[in-house]
Homo-oligomer: A and B are copies of this chain.
Amino acid sequence: MKWSAGRPVAIIDEKLADKLSIQVDDRIKITGGKNQIISVVDTACNLTKMNEIAVSKEVLHKKFPKYVDIELAPKPESISLIRKKMQGKTLSQTELKTIMKDISDNALTESEIAYFISAVYKSKTSIKEAIKMIKAILSTGKTLPLHSGIIADKHSIGGVPGRVTPILVSICASAGLIIPKTSSRAITSAAGTADAMEVICQVNFSIPEMLKIIKKTNACLVWGGSLNLAPADDKLIRVERLLNLDPETQLLASILAKKLSVNSKYIVIDIPYGKNAKVTKTQAERLSKEFKQIAKYFKVNLETFLKKTEKPLGNSIGPSLEIQEVLSVLKREKDAPPLLEKRALELSGLLLELTKKAKKGKGEELAKTILDSGKAFKKFKQIVEAQNGDVNKKFQKTKFQKTINSNSTGKIYELKIKELNNIARIAGCPGDKNAGMYLYKTLDDRVKKHQPLLTIYSESKVELKDAIKQYHKTRPIRIK
């Protein structure tokens, strides 16, 4: 019946449950052939026969034969470890590995994971702890068997809309770097790179498929979650998303574990700061130092890019709208957002310098030459096609939209990006690809009364209504 519950769930008959002393919400271990999985229990009456279980799609991600064994899964040891962390105590490497293993084995419920995240969220970040966390995350997953070539990568801590990654990957792969780019879906923003790429191509691949794409194009732009490179981290992100949380230790660990799992040796981390970004200047500098310390420990060349960033790099927020802007930059269209292009060139330049493809101070120039030559767009087209997509895809019209006009004349002196992100999420991002917003004006722009400020797009009437309500409640764009 292709029942999808968001997590492995098994329905067993009430009487069988009674017989086995299993209760609703207990966890059972399902074993069959060489596979086993831990699943949450629902019970039912007369849905399944006494010796049958009905399982959700998520159980069938592993292959099971017709006959399986079930038994009550013992209470995971992690529970007491999480309580320990909540009491402010430090967890050892082995203890963290136990928690990450239980998370990736699905032995912990989402509520239990939420407790773990909040404990990490509350505790002070330490480099030692982040390193332990990275090792623990890596211990649960696979690593990419890439060993030759200059393997490089880029990551942005996010917070400011603007889809730089696909442009950077195209430029740097043209220059000969190997970029096994795995991206996340949005955590606190309205779209992640994987969400945006998925509008024009597939992003769910297995590791062998990913290697094939890289062999063909020097790069890829895939979703990290389906690769099982760091399964514990993927689940952590899922639970963090409930509350839009991004705990710092978890952030450091999450980013670097992903990079290490694909064997990257050269990494550029983009850390936009400012009152509109995720972090302040002080926080950005601390993060930068922490990233470099951890990189040193793992023997990786890492550079950070710190820049005050007060406005979105493009005009768009939302998966589909953002990928359209990426295309406009790569295709050298006249109306391409200049800030987005500039940031992509700066970051590409930094990575080209870090990998010695360009001399110190000459990276951005080289990046510009590659972009202008059309090579970057050609590379992007190649990658998208290798991922079964089409750069010439016709973009769908969103079902509902609402344009909001300015009710005064003046200058935009405040543009709250976090709130705009929040409104885009209320409108349906990142789940609904076509949801989002288009900003006609940005910070410091002059605007006249009745001129359009932005259009909100949504696939649902309720959500559009809520998004507009939120807009008027929070007034993220202020004019004086």
Q: Which B residues are CB-close (under 8 A) to A428?
A: 21
Q: In the assembly, what is the distance between CA of A228 and CA of B178, in Å?
A: 61
Of the residues B2, B14, B113, B122, contact of A14 by C-beta under 8 Å: B2
A–B pairs, 24, beta carbons within 8 Å: A1-B45, A2-B46, A3-B44, A4-B42, A4-B44, A21-B432, A21-B459, A21-B460, A21-B463, A42-B56, A72-B462, A74-B462, A74-B463, A86-B118, A86-B122, A109-B111, A111-B242, A112-B243, A114-B115, A114-B118, A115-B117, A118-B119, A118-B122, A122-B122
- Please give the residue numbers on chain A whose beta carbons come within 8 Å of chain B beta carbons, in ascending order: 1-6, 9, 11, 14, 20-21, 23-25, 42-47, 56, 71-72, 74-75, 79, 82-83, 86, 109-115, 117-119, 121-122, 239, 242-245, 426, 428, 431-432, 459-460, 462-463, 466
Please tell me if the beta carbons of B2 and A45 are within 8 angstroms of each other in the complex: yes
Of the residues B9, B122, B243, B466, contact of A82 by C-beta under 8 Å: B243
* Chain B residue nearest to A42 in the complex (CB): B5
Q: Which B residues are CB-close (under 8 A) to A75?
A: 426, 466
Please tell me if the beta carbons of B463 and A42 are within 8 angstroms of each other in the complex: no
Of the residues B79, B119, B244, B463, contact of A83 by C-beta under 8 Å: B244
Of the residues B24, B45, B111, contact of A239 by C-beta under 8 Å: B111
Q: Which B residues are CB-close (under 8 A) to A11?
A: 3
* Chain B residue nearest to A88 in the complex (CB): B122
Q: Which B residues are CB-close (under 8 A) to A79?
A: 242-244
Q: Which B residues are CB-close (under 8 A) to A459?
A: 21
Q: In the assembly, what is the distance between CA of A245 and CA of B118, in Å?
A: 14
Of the residues B44, B109, B242, B466, contact of A115 by C-beta under 8 Å: B242
Given A115-B242, A118-B114, A463-B72, the answer on whether A24 and B6 have CB atoms closer than 8 Å is yes
Given A25-B6, A111-B114, A459-B21, the answer on whether A1 and B83 have CB atoms closer than 8 Å is no
List 13 additional A-B contacts (Cβ < 8 Å) besides A5-B9, A21-B428, A21-B432: A3-B45, A4-B14, A72-B463, A83-B243, A83-B245, A86-B121, A86-B243, A111-B113, A115-B117, A115-B242, A115-B243, A115-B245, A122-B122
Q: Which B residues are CB-close (under 8 A) to A245?
A: 83, 86, 115
Q: In the assembly, what is the distance between CA of A210 and CA of B325, in Å?
A: 65
Rank and list the top 7 A-B pairs by shortest CB-CB distance, nearest first. Answer: A2-B45, A118-B118, A114-B114, A111-B114, A1-B47, A3-B44, A110-B111
Q: Which B residues are CB-close (under 8 A) to A24?
A: 4-6
* Chain B residue nearest to A462 in the complex (CB): B72
* Chain B residue nearest to A428 in the complex (CB): B21
Q: Which B residues are CB-close (under 8 A) to A6?
A: 24-25, 42
Q: Which has the most chain B C-beta neighbours within 10 Å: A23, A82, A114?
A: A114
Q: Which has the most chain B C-beta neighbours within 10 Å: A11, A44, A428, A466?
A: A44
Q: In the assembly, what is the distance between CA of A244 and CA of B24, in Å?
A: 18
Q: Which B residues are CB-close (under 8 A) to A1?
A: 44-47
Given A71-B462, A462-B71, the answer on whether A112 and B242 have CB atoms closer than 8 Å is yes
How far does the Cβ of A468 sit from chain B's closest Cβ, in whole Å? 12
Please tell me if the beta carbons of B44 and A74 are within 8 angstroms of each other in the complex: no
Q: In the assembly, what is the distance between CA of A460 and CA of B21, in Å?
A: 7
Q: In the assembly, what is the distance between CA of A2 and CA of B43, in Å?
A: 8
How far does the Cβ of A462 sit from chain B's closest Cβ, in whole Å? 5
How far does the Cβ of A393 sit from chain B's closest Cβ, in whole Å? 20
Q: Which B residues are CB-close (under 8 A) to A14?
A: 2, 4
How far does the Cβ of A444 sit from chain B's closest Cβ, in whole Å? 28
How far does the Cβ of A409 sit from chain B's closest Cβ, in whole Å? 32
Please tell me if the beta carbons of B4 and A242 are within 8 angstroms of each other in the complex: no
How far does the Cβ of A361 sit from chain B's closest Cβ, in whole Å? 41
* Chain B residue nearest to A23 in the complex (CB): B431
Q: Which B residues are CB-close (under 8 A) to A46?
A: 1-2
